Structure 1
Amino acid sequence: MRLPSRLSSSKSSCKGFTLIELLVVIAIIAVLIALLLPAVQAAREAARRSQCVNNLKQIGLAMQNYHDVHQTFPLQGTLGVPLDNPAQRSNWWGPSVFVHLLPFMEQTPLQNAFNFSASCVVGCTTLGRSANTTVVNTAIQTMLCPSDGNTVYPRGTNYAVSCGPQFRFDVSGNLATGVFVTTRAFGISAIPDGTSNTILCSEVIRGDGVAGRDNGAERYRDVPWPVGGPEGSGINQVMPEGLPNLQAYLTACAPRVQARTSEINDAHNSWAFARMHLGTAFNTIQPPNARQRDCIWYPAHAGLITARSRHSGGVNTLFGDGSVRFIKDTINQPTWWALGTREGGEVISSDQL
Structure 2
Amino acid sequence: MCRCKFRNAFSIIELLVVIGVAAIALAVALPAAQHTRAKARRIQCALRLSELSIATNIHLSTYNTFPYTSKNFGVFVNGSAKRFPAISPHSQLLASLDQAAFEKVAIFDPSLSWTDRQPISTVESNRILIKTSMPMFLCPSDSGPVGGNNYRANLGPDIGVFRGSPPTTHNGIGAFENGRALSPSSFSDGLSNTIMYSEKVIGDRNRTVYQAFRDNFVFSPGFTNRDEAARTCRQFATSTPLSHDSFGGTTWLFGGYNHTWYNHVATPNSFIPDCCTGLSFGGGDGLYTARSLHHGGVNVGMADGSTNFISNSIDALVWLQQSTRSSGD
State the TM-score, normalizing by the size of structure 2.
0.87
Aligned residue number for residue 84 of structure 1: none
Structure 2, unaligned runs of 5 or more: 75-79
Within the alignment, does 1:218 sit opposite 2:215 as a pair?
A: yes
Identical amino acids, percent of aligned pairs = 28
Aligned residue number for residue 52 of structure 2: 59
> Which one-letter code corresponds to 1:155 in the other structure?
G
Within the alignment, does 1:199 sit opposite 2:195 as a pair?
A: yes
Alignment of 1:9-158 (within 5 A): 10=5, 13-77=6-70, 90-91=83-84, 93-105=85-97, 107-120=98-111, 122-123=113-114, 128-150=122-144, 153-158=145-150
Aligned residue number for residue 77 of structure 2: none
> Which one-letter code corresponds to 2:296 in the other structure?
G
How far apart are the structure 2 equivalents of 1:178 and 1:323?
17
Residue 318 of structure 1 is aligned with which of 270, 285, 301?
301
Aligned residue number for residue 298 of structure 1: 278
CA contact (8 A) 1:60 1:318 kept: yes
Aligned residue number for residue 232 of structure 1: none
Structure 1, unaligned runs of 5 or more: 82-86, 228-236, 347-353
Within the alignment, does 1:338 sit opposite 2:321 as a pair?
A: yes
How far apart are the structure 2 equivalents of 1:223 and 1:78?
20
How far apart are the structure 1 equivalents of 2:102 and 2:266?
33
CA contact (8 A) 1:314 1:327 kept: yes
Q: CA deviation at 1:212?
A: 3.3
How far apart are the structure 2 equivalents of 1:43 and 1:126?
39
Aligned residue number for residue 262 of structure 2: 282
How far apart are the structure 2 equivalents of 1:126 and 1:248?
33
Q: CA deviation at 1:263?
A: 2.6
Count of residues in correspondence between the two structures: 313
Higher helix fraction (1 or 2): 1
Q: Secondary structure at the match of 2:292?
A: coil
How far apart are the structure 2 equivalents of 1:272 and 1:170?
20
How far apart are the structure 1 equivalents of 2:110 and 2:210?
34
How far apart are the structure 1 equivalents of 2:158 and 2:52?
23
Q: Secondary structure at the match of 1:257?
A: coil
CA contact (8 A) 2:104 2:125 kept: no
CA contact (8 A) 1:162 1:179 kept: yes
CA contact (8 A) 1:52 1:146 kept: yes
How far apart are the structure 2 equivalents of 1:158 and 1:127?
21
State the TM-score, normalizing by the size of structure 1.
0.81
Q: Secondary structure at the match of 1:180?
A: coil
CA contact (8 A) 1:122 1:129 kept: no
How far apart are the structure 2 equivalents of 1:306 and 1:62?
24
Distance 1:148 1:247, change over 3 A: closer
CA contact (8 A) 2:153 2:262 kept: yes
Largest Rg, 1 or 2: 1
Q: Secondary structure at the match of 1:21?
A: helix
